[in-house]
Amino acid sequence: MIVTFTANPSLDRTVALPGPLERGEVQRAVSVTQESGGKGVNVSRALVASGLESLAVLPGADSDPVLAGLRAGAVPFVSLPIDEPLRTNVALTEPGGVTTKINEPGPVLDDNQQEALLKLLLESSRGAGWVVLAGSLPPGFPSDFYATAARRLRSAADGEPSGHMPLIAVDSSGQPLAAALTGGAEGMPDLLKPNAEELAELAAAAGFATAAADELEADPAAAAEAASAVVRSGVGAVLATLGSKGAVLVTAEGAWLATHPPVAAVSTVGAGDSALAGYLLAHSQGAAPADCLRQAVAHGAAAASLPGSTVPAVHQTTPEAVTITALRKD
C-alpha cells in the first residue's frame, strides 16, 4: 500500500478560458471543473484510478467538500477533524495548456493539531510500502516538518516487530523542500520529485552551483548533473520533471532521460503529481529504475492531455511511446 500525506489539501477549481487570459477584462469560461486536490491527494487519486491500493492522510471536517469529493471518487482516506474549512485553489487554463494558478494559504493548525496529524500519519503508515509527503505546508507549520515526519516514520517502523521500513518520497517546494535535506541520515527521503525550478533550489541547498530553472528545463544533462549533487547529499533518488522536455531520474547507480512525443496539452494542473504516481505504480510492480521513469513520463503526459486536475488511469497512458536515454550508468 502507498500512503500519501497532504497537510494542506484543497478543493481545486479549474476554469477553462476560450482564449488567452486578458487582465482587467471580462471573459466567459468555456467550462469549470472541480476536484479534491493537493499533491498527495492527487497521487492517491491517480494510484486508485490505476487499481493500486492507496490511503490519503489529511486534515479536514467530515462535511468538507474535499473529503466529500474523495468519498465520491472512492479514494480511501483518514482525516484529522478541524473546525476551519480547507482551502480552494483556482487554476485558469488557456488553449494550449498555459495555466495560471491562484492558491489560498489554507487553515492554521496549532501545535497540538500538527502533532495529532503527524500521529495519524504514523498510525496509518504501518506496513506501507511507500509514504508520500507532498505539497505545501499550512501557515504556522515548521519548514522542516517533512524531515521530522521522515525521522518519526523510520523510528516508528524500527520499533515494530516486523521492522518493516517504508520508503519515503517528498514532493514540495520552497523551504519545506530544501529543509528535506536537513534531517540527517534518518530524515533523508528515498525519493525527491522536483520540477526544474525546485531542482535548482535543491541543488543550491546541496551546495551545488547550478543553472537557472529555465536552463535546467532546456538541458536535461545539466538537470541530471544538478540532481546528482542532490543524490550525493544523501537522497536515494531524484525524479525531476522538465515539462515538455520529459523527466530525468538520477540514483547512485545511474541517470536516465525519458521523453514522450508532444501531446495536445489541455491542463498541466496535477501533471507532476501524476508523474510521481506513475513512478510509484511501476516501482510497486518491481520495475527497474528506467522503467519507473518511463511510466512516470507516460502518466505526466496523459495528465497534461486531460481537462482540469483529472488524473489518468494506467490504461490511458502510453509508456511504449516513451524514449529512454541513459545519461550515465555506473
Tens-binned pLDDT, residue by residue, of the chain (330 aa): 999 999 999 999 999 999 999 999 999 999 998 999 999 999 999 999 999 999 999 999 999 999 999 999 999 999 999 999 999 999 999 988 788 999 999 999 999 999 999 999 999 999 999 999 999 999 999 999 999 999 999 998 876 666 678 999 999 999 999 898 887 888 899 999 999 999 998 888 877 777 788 889 889 999 999 999 999 999 999 999 998 889 999 999 999 999 999 888 888 888 999 999 999 999 999 999 999 999 999 999 999 998 878 899 999 999 999 999 999 655
Contacts (Cβ under 8 Å, ≥6 apart) of 153: 121, 122, 125, 131, 166, 168
Predicted pLDDT at 64: 97
C-alpha–C-alpha distance, residues 108 and 69, integer Å: 22
C-alpha–C-alpha distance, residues 313 and 117, integer Å: 29
C-alpha–C-alpha distance, residues 164 and 220, integer Å: 35
Predicted pLDDT at 253: 92
C-alpha–C-alpha distance, residues 251 and 111, integer Å: 36
The three-class DSSP label of residue 37 is strand
Q: Is 184 left (phi over 0), alpha (psi -120 to 50) or beta?
A: left
Predicted pLDDT at 168: 97
pTM of the predicted model as reported, rounded to 2 decimal places: 0.93
Q: Maximum CA pair distance of the chain? A: 63
pLDDT digits (tens, 9 = 90+) for 237-267: 999 999 888 999 999 999 999 999 988 888 8
Predicted pLDDT at 61: 97
Phi, psi of 133 (to 5 degrees): -100, 115
Go through 15-31 and write b for each residue having 16 or more CB atoms within 10 A of its CB, e for each that does not. Answer: bbbeeeeeeeeeeeeee
Predicted pLDDT at 207: 77
Predicted pLDDT at 329: 58
Going by their DSSP bridges, the two strands 247-251 and 254-259 should be labelled as antiparallel
C-alpha–C-alpha distance, residues 287 and 95, integer Å: 36
In Å, how far from its chain's centre is CA 7? 13
Phi, psi of 190 (to 5 degrees): -80, -20
